Amino acid sequence: MQKDTLVFDLIRQELERQRRGIELIASENFTSLQVMQAMGNVMTNKYAEGYPGRRYYAGCEIVDQTEQLAIDRLKQIFNIQYANVQPHSGAQANAAVALAVLQPGDNILGLDLSMGGHLTHGSAVNYSGKLYKPHFYGVTREGGVVDYEMLEAKAREVKPKLLICGASAYSRDWDYARIRQVADEVGALVMADIAHPAGLIAKKLLNDPFDHCHFVTSTTHKTLRGPRGGIIMMRNDFENPWGLKDVKGNIRMMSNLLDMAVFPGIQGGPLEHVIAAKAIAFGEILSDGFTAYANQIIKNSQSFATGLVDRGYQIVSGGTDNHLVLVDLRNKNITGKKAEQALVAADITANKNMVPYDDKSAFVTSGIRMGVPSITTRGMKEEHMSFIVDAIDRVLMNADDEKIIGEVRKNVNSFMEQFVLYPELG
């Protein structure tokens, strides 16, 4: 078979793009080489519908072992009883939880998308807002932190069956205990979507959601630094509260309902090659190296945020507890869209983002979201943050000046040469 040079050339170009730029997209990271290698292996050829030891296909003895390893390692990381490593993505993980516990038309309550929430937490354009009846809480206008009083009032008003916490663009930690309290009062189950901060929670640098939230979902490719994918977890399994029985008349446990919601509920065959890569990533997370990495994320994030504040940038909520900042650019007289375009022209990648109570549309926005997981993986420390803040400030203050942006790009490219990415790839 002839090598498809057209596609491989594009892959090479993407490697060079990743190497020369400063990657600040908060939801991205660089996996280890072994995680990437595991994603391109013969396990992609294998059908394995079902779960380890109970498959609908023959020849699963080997993939059973990688999947079980991924499950066992994930359980060890978070000290939990139940883990499903099959969801193809974070959105799939959330869809499976919803399918397991909700009926169409049920009330759900999540953080508003325009305040940092995620599409799968009830957005009108997503299955979660179409199949279920979505209600939202927000963040305070003054402080930019989750408005727990509003959350409690909404919960009492709409009595959601599922209360969702977690976010895509929120830089503060969560009060899971408080959320559980109101959930118990109104009879809701709680799902924490820790897609963003999971790697920091794994190393106990943020509050532990597992004791308070019935379900915890995550992506595996953000701060967990694994392959693109999703996971569903529970610290403790429990009897489903709706009395659903299996064919033998036994009450089904929640673990059983979740497994069935993933397959055959919303997915077919699992991606066993990606699950192998998840197993490797989970092994890496259990190492001391990852503990140092997670600690460095916090240090870099703090130092990055301080540098921005010193330059007069307004961070929503005033700072950060985790790996990201959401910057409100309104005092800098530039839109999120323009900022994103200018930064990309200087080989700095970050994404425009609505800020709470934004007066601009989602296509324009007043904010920009930036995170440090990728640059921390590349080896940057606190002392490197000032170069990045300087470069960002220069670009944003001269967004129409191609000459200055060209200069910044050159400086960025030579700065990045010291942080070698995938040297094995030549």
Ligand X SMILES: Cc1ncc(COP(=O)(O)O)c(C=O)c1O
Annotation marks residue 193 as catalytic: yes
**Side chain identity at residue 405, one-letter code:** I
Rg (CA), the chain: 22
Nearest approach, Cβ of residue 363 and ligand X (Å):
18
Categorise residue 262: left if φ over 0, alpha if ψ from -120 to 50, beta otherwise.
alpha
Q: Is 222 a catalytic residue?
A: yes
Q: Is 381 a catalytic residue?
A: no
Q: Does 413 bind ligand X (CB under 6 A)?
A: no
193 vs 347 by CB, closer to ligand X:
193
Which of 166, 197, 199, 367 touches ligand X (CB under 6 A)?
A: 166
Q: Which is nearer to ligand X, 196 or 214 (CB)?
A: 196
Q: Is 39 helix (H, G, I), strand (E, B) or coil?
A: helix
When asked if residue 91 is in the footprint of ligand X (CB under 6 A), the reply is yes
> Is 228 annotated in the active site?
yes
112 binds ligand X (CB under 6 A): no
Q: Say how far apart CA 285 and CA 231 lie, in whole Å.
A: 15
Nearer to ligand X (CB atom), residue 69 or residue 274: 274
Interface with ligand X, residue 323, by CB under 6 A: no
Q: Burial letters for 234-267: b for 16+ Cβ neighbours within 10 Å, e otherwise?
A: bbeeeebeeeeeeeeeeebbbbbbbbbbbbeebb
* Residue 353 interacting with ligand X (CB under 6 A): no
Helix H or strand E encompassing 364: none
- Between 191 and 210, how does the x/- string for binding to ligand X read (CB under 6 A)? --x-xx--------------
**Which member of 31, 120, 217, 219 is catalytic?**
219
> Judged by CB under 6 A, does residue 84 bind ligand X?
no
Q: What are phi and psi of 391, to 5 degrees?
A: -65, -45
Beta-sheet pairing, 314-315 with 324-328: antiparallel
Nearer to ligand X, 228 or 360 (CB): 228
Closest CA to 191 of 230, 140, 142, 247: 230
Q: Closest residue to ligand X, Cβ-based? A: 90
Q: Least CB distance from residue 296 to ligand X, whole Å?
A: 22
- Using CB under 6 A, pick the residue from 66, 84, 120, 335 that binds ligand X: 120
SS3 call for 406? helix
CB of 91 to ligand X, least distance (A): 3
Considering only the stretches 89-97, 106-114, 197-205, 272-280, report the one whose residues sit in contact with ligand X under the rule CB under 6 A. 89-97
Among residues 265 and 398, whose Cβ is nearest to ligand X? 265
* Per annotation, catalytic residue among 23, 67, 147, 193: 193
Which residues are CB-contacts of 353 (< 8 A; sequence separation ≥ 6)?
169, 326, 336, 365, 367, 368, 369
For residue 278, state whether it binds ligand X (rule: CB under 6 A).
Answer: no
> How big, in percent rounded to 5, are the helix, strand and coil portions of the chain?
45, 15, 40
CA distances from residue 249 to 243, 252, 256 in whole angstroms, order as listed: 10, 9, 14
Structure tokens at 124: 């009108």
Which of 75, 159, 228, 299 is an active site residue?
Answer: 228
- Binding of residue 219 to ligand X (CB under 6 A): yes
Respond yes or no: is residue 55 known to be catalytic.
no
89 lies in the site for ligand X, by CB under 6 A: yes
Examine the residue annotation and report whether 349 is marked as an active-site residue of this protein.
no
Amino acid at 303: S
The minimum distance between CB 71 and ligand X, in angstroms, equals: 19
Backbone angles phi, psi at 164, to 5 degrees: -110, 130
d(CA 378, CA 343): 19
Minimum Å gap between C-beta 389 and ligand X is 24
Q: Which of residues 22-51 bind ligand X (CB under 6 A)?
A: 27
Q: Which residues make Cβ contacts (< 8 Å) with residue 210, sequence separation at least 6?
A: 78, 79, 80, 216, 233, 234, 235
Least distance from ligand X to the Cβ atom of residue 169, Å: 8
In whole angstroms, the minimum distance from the beta carbon of 118 to ligand X comes to 4
Which residues, 228 to 257, sit near ligand X by CB under 6 A?
Answer: 230
168/366 with CB nearer ligand X: 168
* 13 vs 249: CA distance, rounded Å: 57
* Interface contacts to ligand X, rule CB under 6 A: 27, 89-91, 94, 118, 120, 166-168, 193, 195-196, 219, 230
- The residues assigned a catalytic role are 47, 49, 193, 219, 222, 228
